[in-house]
């Protein structure tokens, strides 16, 4: 110690100050880097929001087209000439083709003024069926039934029609059952207004930010019903695009990683429930303007990191390494290794701490050895004294001596009680084993009852009922006696009149059940149950809690004691243990 003090003292504080000056520039670089990163994030967020608003406008334009289709059906329903022909009977339609021509002309004249409508298909319930573009349309039975159940409400669907030259055409259709406005209970026809899927894709075609971005529309079953890539039409949404966040709200955007590339995935619910407009844009293409800033920031961060790393290594080697050595030595000291000795280097506070630690370790070892030696001798003396006091052979022999003296003196009742007490004590010890059998528990209880019957004369009647199959069941010892004692003390004695204590032991499913019932004073059920978790003043409930705790320890918390009682109506104690043969 004196040798260390004589050396020139160079404070750890000064060392820390020098290092702090050297690394002052590093936080500036790092802060700058984070500032650039933050500014890049802000730019990306603003561009993402701008892209979201663009998608919102596209969705509104698509919804406008859908609304135009719905409005077209309303205008067509108001065409008196068209409706008049739908009201005609089947026989009238069959008698003259002029009615069909008149209906077709009415629809064709309407379509002329609706440039985005590809065709209108009419399926009159009177047999008047045609398509304004001579396309083949198919309305299956389930769709037709769904339309009738909508009671005049229309439905947007993704469909396919076949043109006169057998070309299949992808369309978006609005389908509706026309009802007679003069008799709403009467259905006139199913009208299907078709627009080309291309009309929808044109709306977002010019809004692509790059060749790597994409737009598509999915329906409620995750089928792609509109896309710039026509090969995807009618296919299921790819699982890599099917992100749960797509369905978390009506609209929004989030970052997604697809094929190792970061994207902004934007979605917007269309007016048709379940249909969504989805847009994918590569993140790097959204933030092209921030690439220069990002690259510069990355270089700055790399340089800052290199400097920090160098300074940390230097600081760790010069200052923290000795501290780490002391920390490891303290860990060994925690495990009572008092022979540890640290090699002290340097001339600062850490060197002083190391020297003090070595002295403390040595002193602790000496003190611990002294204390252990004293304590061991003390415990040995106490154990020997305790063993002499509770030597079971001494107690057995003494009780046997008292028993034979009582017999010789013809004190038969006294000898009977002494014998019961001797056997009660012998069974209680159970050779130091915690487990016994039901048969031994009953024997133990009977000896206890013998003593209590002499004490209470005819005040208490005891009844024991045991199933033969449970006698060899393995159980925790000393369970019945404390519970019967509790029934005597807090049940029969408390009531002050003659009473009965009934003990039943039986098997129920895979469990062994003890039931101790008395017709004594009873108690508050919640108060009794509280004794299972705590011991009240005067050690009340100690025996019950001890029994319950031991059952929990050996068999688990789902076994144990349960009380059923009420004031004045006696108490039933139920004890559950697992049924295990073999004590």
Whether residues 170 and 232 share a domain: the answer is: no
Do 133 and 236 reside in the same domain of the chain?
no
286, 303, 332: which is the final residue of a domain?
Answer: 286
Per-residue model confidence (pLDDT) at position 394: 47
512 found inside a domain: yes
Q: Judging by DSSP bridges, how do beta strands 511-518 and 571-578 pair with one another? A: antiparallel
Determine the pLDDT at residue 15.
60
396, two tokens: 């057995």
In a domain, residue 13? The reply is no
DSSP letter at 343 equals: P
- Residue 171, SS3? strand
Residues 92 and 194 in one domain: yes
Regarding whether 573 and 446 lie in a shared domain, the answer is yes
Q: Tell me if 357 is assigned to some domain.
A: no
Look at residue 72 and tell me if it is in a domain: no
Identify the segments of the chain with pLDDT beneath 70: 1-22, 24-25, 28-29, 32-33, 36, 286-295, 297-298, 300-302, 304-306, 308-309, 311-327, 329, 331-339, 342, 344-351, 354, 357, 361, 365-366, 370-432, 534-542, 583
Question: Residue 472: what pLDDT?
Answer: 92
Nearest to 518 by CA among 543, 556, 488: 488
Same domain, 237 and 182: no
Map residue 5 onto helix, strand or coil.
helix
In terms of Cβ atoms closer than 10 Å to its own Cβ (0-12, 13-18, 19+), residue 339 is: exposed
CA distance 173 to 156: 6
Q: What is the pLDDT of residue 306?
A: 67
d(CA 146, CA 9): 93
As a three-state string, the secondary structure of 79-124 is: CHHHHHHHHCCHHHHHHCCHHHHHHHHHHHHHHHCCCCCCEEEEEE
- Do 140 and 267 fall within a single domain? no
Final residue before a domain boundary, out of 174, 199, 224: 199
Do 179 and 224 lie in a common domain?
Answer: no
Residue 379 within any structural domain of the chain: no
Residues 157 and 253 in one domain: no
Q: What CATH number has the domain bearing residue 274?
A: 3.30.450.20
The predicted-structure confidence for 30-63, as pLDDT tens digits, reads as follows 776 677 677 777 777 777 788 889 888 999 999 9
Q: Can you give the CATH number for the domain in which 479 is found?
A: 3.30.565.10
CATH number of the domain bearing residue 174? 3.30.450
Q: Are residues 469 and 510 in the same domain?
A: yes
Residues 238, 177: one domain?
Answer: no
- Digit-coded pLDDT (tens) for 202-225: 988 887 777 778 889 999 999 999
Residues 174 and 229 in one domain: no
Q: Are 474 and 437 in contact, with CB atoms under 8 Å apart? A: yes
- Other Cβ atoms closer than 10 A to 140: 8
Of 259, 286, 313, which closes a domain?
286
Q: Which domain holds residue 543?
A: 433-578
């Amino acid at each position: 110690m004196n040798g260390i003090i004589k050396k020139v003292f160079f404070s750890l504080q000064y060392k820390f100050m020098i290092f702090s000056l050297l690394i002052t520039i590093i936080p500036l670089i790092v802060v700058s880097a984070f500032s650039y990163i933050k500014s890049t994030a802000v730019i990306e967020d603003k561009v993402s929001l701008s892209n979201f608003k663009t998608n919102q406008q596209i969705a509104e334009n698509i919804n406008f087209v859908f609304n135009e289709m719905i409005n077209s059906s309303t205008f067509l329903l108001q065409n008196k000439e068209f409706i008049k022909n739908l009201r005609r009977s089947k026989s009238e339609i069959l008698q003259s083709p002029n009615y069909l021509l008149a209906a077709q002309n009415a629809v064709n004249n309407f379509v002329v003024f609706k440039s985005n409508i590809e065709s209108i298909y009419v399926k009159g319930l009177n047999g008047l069926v045609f398509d304004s573009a001579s396309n083949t349309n198919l309305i299956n039975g389930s769709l037709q039934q769904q339309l009738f159940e909508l009671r005049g409400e229309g439905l947007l669907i993704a469909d396919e029609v076949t043109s006169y030259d057998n070309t299949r055409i992808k369309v978006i259709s609005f389908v509706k059952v026309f009802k007679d406005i003069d008799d709403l209970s009467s259905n006139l026809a199913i009208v299907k207004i078709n627009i080309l899927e291309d009309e929808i894709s044109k709306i977002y075609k010019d809004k692509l930010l790059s060749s790597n971005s994409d737009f598509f529309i999915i329906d409620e079953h995750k089928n792609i019903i509109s896309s710039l890539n026509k090969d995807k039409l009618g296919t299921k949404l790819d699982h890599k695009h099917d992100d749960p966040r797509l369905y978390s709200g009506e609209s929004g955007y989030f970052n997604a990683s697809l094929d190792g590339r970061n994207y902004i995935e934007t979605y917007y619910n269309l007016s048709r429930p379940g249909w969504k407009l989805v847009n994918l844009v590569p993140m790097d293409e959204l933030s092209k303007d921030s690439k220069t800033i990002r690259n510069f920031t990355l270089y700055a961060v790399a340089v800052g990191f290199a400097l920090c790393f160098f300074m940390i290594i230097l600081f760790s080697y010069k200052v923290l390494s000795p501290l780490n050595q002391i920390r490891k030595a303290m860990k060994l000291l925690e495990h009572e290794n008092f022979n540890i000795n640290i090699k002290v280097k340097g001339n600062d506070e850490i060197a002083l701490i190391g020297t003090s630690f070595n002295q403390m370790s040595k002193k602790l070892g000496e003190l611990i050895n002294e204390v252990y030696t004293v304590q061991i001798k003390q415990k040995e003396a106490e154990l020997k004294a305790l063993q002499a006091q509770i030597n079971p052979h001494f107690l057995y022999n003494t009780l046997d001596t008292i028993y034979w003296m009582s017999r010789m003196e013809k004190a038969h009742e006294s000898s009977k009680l002494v014998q019961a007490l001797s056997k009660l004590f012998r069974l209680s010890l159970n050779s130091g084993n915690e487990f016994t059998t039901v048969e031994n528990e009953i024997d133990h209880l009977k000896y206890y009852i013998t003593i209590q019957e002499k004490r209470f004369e005819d005040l208490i009647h005891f009844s024991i009922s045991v199933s033969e199959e449970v006698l060899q069941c393995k159980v925790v010892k000393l369970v019945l006696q404390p519970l019967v004692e509790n029934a005597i003390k807090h049940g029969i004695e408390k009531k002050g009149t003659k009473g009965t204590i009934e003990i039943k032991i039986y098997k129920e499913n895979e469990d062994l059940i003890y039931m101790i019932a008395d017709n004594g004073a009873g108690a508050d059920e919640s108060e009794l149950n509280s004794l299972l978790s705590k011991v009240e003043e005067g050690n009340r409930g100690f025996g019950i809690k001890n029994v319950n705790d031991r059952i929990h320890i050996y068999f688990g918390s789902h076994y144990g004691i349960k009380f059923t009682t009420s004031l004045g109506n006696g108490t039933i104690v139920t004890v559950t243990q697992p049924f295990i043969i073999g004590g």
